[in-house]
Amino acid sequence: MQRILVVASDFPYPPRHGSAVDMWTRVLVLKEMGYCVDLLATVNEMPNEDLIQIVRRHVGNLWIVLRQRSLRSVLSFLPFQVRSRIGLKDVVLGQHYDALVLESEYVAAILKNSGVRQAKLILRVHNEQVGYFREFAEGATNWLKKLYYYSESFKFRFLSPAVMQKCDLLWFISNSERQNHVRENPQDDTKSFFVPTHVKPATMHACSAISRTALFIGTLTISHNSDAVRWYVEKVHPLLSDLDGYVFQVAGRTAGQPIQALKQLVQHNKNVSIEEDPIVLDGLYERAGVFVNPVICGAGVKVKVIQALQAGMPIVSTSMGVEGTGFEDSKHLLIADTPQEFAASVRKLMTEPALRESLVRNAQAFLSERYDMKSNIQKVLAEALSETN
């Protein structure tokens, strides 16, 4: 049996946010495809033992490496996200691997680990890191954070191409980012593939939204998401206040970090509530009528949209919020980029059940056809691994 090591930038269980969903699903899909899958994860703090034991039931071997948060990491020529995970190079693996899946350039230090020689190297491209951190910098108000983000963007400008050059396969979560990369790096055309996050048609829920709750779910400590919530509350929410029964529900991961500014925003606006670190999302989807994704900046695919569609939620999003997904306006969801258009679209979905059902049905059919990780990677991975035999 061929053995694959998934090197995760974070502990992927429970899969409460986009990147964790993508990483954890990949572990399960690779196992389902018949590979022996080991997991090496980096963390800020150790997960509790119950979560560790759940993960152990699905993988062969599990290693967890604590990240380094010292000043030395900040001052390194490497991006902080990479330098803080430098301990990956010293992990004693004791196994031969046919392939390594690097979950973003953050785990690049694993390439210096002697235990991974001769393995096929696969990079999961979650974001175009240079633009990703530049956008964070442009949105930051604190000058220290702005400096940090600009520094990361600059450092990834050199590191990302070097990592991509070493890898045998590049699996892009966003098709638009794959196309942009190949346009600028035509030599990578034959090793670059669009591998969207996985969906299971059997677990999709039919549209049953009947309430007038607009729902947003996202990691609340990320400025892209907090800015989206603020934009919606300040610009869109007041335009819907006359709609009987309308409320706005915000929920998401904080990982223990303070979100005081968001809390104050909620407290000063009627019919807005916030739920921190929900354990499960099913209840939130069931109680909502429309999922909103009002992001106004941000790189990469918004996995939150795909999760909401699987749950049977009709969606209103900005253009940026669905960039790279392939979804079409008025066919799979509604796209709106001004407060007036956004409010009108939310109102429309809350008052027209036939439209809600039609959009969700079309979107789920599109997901079933295009967003099957197993079929997307089966052929390219089999061909790559056959070259090692």
pLDDT value at position 118? Answer: 83
pLDDT value at position 83? Answer: 94
In this prediction, residue 299 has a pLDDT band, given cuts at 50, 70 and 90, of: low
Domain coverage including residue 356: 202-369
Q: Who wins on pLDDT, 369 or 76?
A: 369
Residue 199 has pLDDT above 70, yes or no: yes
The token pair at 207 is 């549209």
In this prediction, residue 196 has a pLDDT band, given cuts at 50, 70 and 90, of: confident
Query: Using the 8-state DSSP alphabet, how is residue 275 labeled?
Result: E
pLDDT in tens, 99-155: 999 999 999 999 999 888 889 999 999 989 998 899 888 877 888 889 999 999 999
Residue 210 has pLDDT above 90, yes or no: no
- Same structural domain for residues 38 and 187? yes
Task: Tell me the CATH number at 22.
Answer: 3.40.50.2000
Q: Using CA atoms, how far apart are residues 248 and 217, in angstroms rounded to an integer?
A: 11
- Same structural domain for residues 168 and 58? yes
H/E element holding 315? strand 315-317
- Same structural domain for residues 108 and 133? yes
- Same structural domain for residues 298 and 355? yes
Q: Mean per-residue pLDDT for 27-37?
A: 94
Residue 263 has pLDDT above 80, yes or no: yes
- Same structural domain for residues 13 and 62? yes
- Same structural domain for residues 230 and 184? no
- Same structural domain for residues 48 and 85? yes
Interacting residues of 304 by C-beta distance below 8 A, sequence separation 6+: 18, 217, 218, 293
- Same structural domain for residues 238 and 309? yes
Q: Who wins on pLDDT, 203 or 350?
A: 350
Residue 1 has pLDDT above 60, yes or no: yes
pLDDT value at position 310? Answer: 92
Average pLDDT, the chain: 90
- Same structural domain for residues 95 and 233? no
Residue 300 has pLDDT above 70, yes or no: no
Quote the percentage of the chain above a pLDDT of 70.
96
In this prediction, residue 74 has a pLDDT band, given cuts at 50, 70 and 90, of: low
In this prediction, residue 388 has a pLDDT band, given cuts at 50, 70 and 90, of: low
Specify the residue for token string 């691997």.
Answer: 97
- Same structural domain for residues 131 and 188? yes
- Same structural domain for residues 222 and 358? yes
pLDDT value at position 40? Answer: 98
- Same structural domain for residues 317 and 301? yes
H/E element holding 161? helix 143-166
Tally of domains within the chain: 2
- Which has the closest alpha carbon to 209: 353, 317, 364? 353
- Which has the closest alpha carbon to 132: 180, 86, 165, 169? 180
Radius of gyration for the alpha carbons in the chain, expressed in angstroms and rounded: 21
Residue 24 has pLDDT above 60, yes or no: yes
In this prediction, residue 298 has a pLDDT band, given cuts at 50, 70 and 90, of: low
Q: Where are the extended beta strands (E) located within the chain?
A: 3-8, 36-43, 62-66, 99-103, 120-125, 169-172, 192-194, 213-217, 247-252, 272-276, 290-293, 315-317, 334-335
The one-letter amino acid code at 378 reads: Q
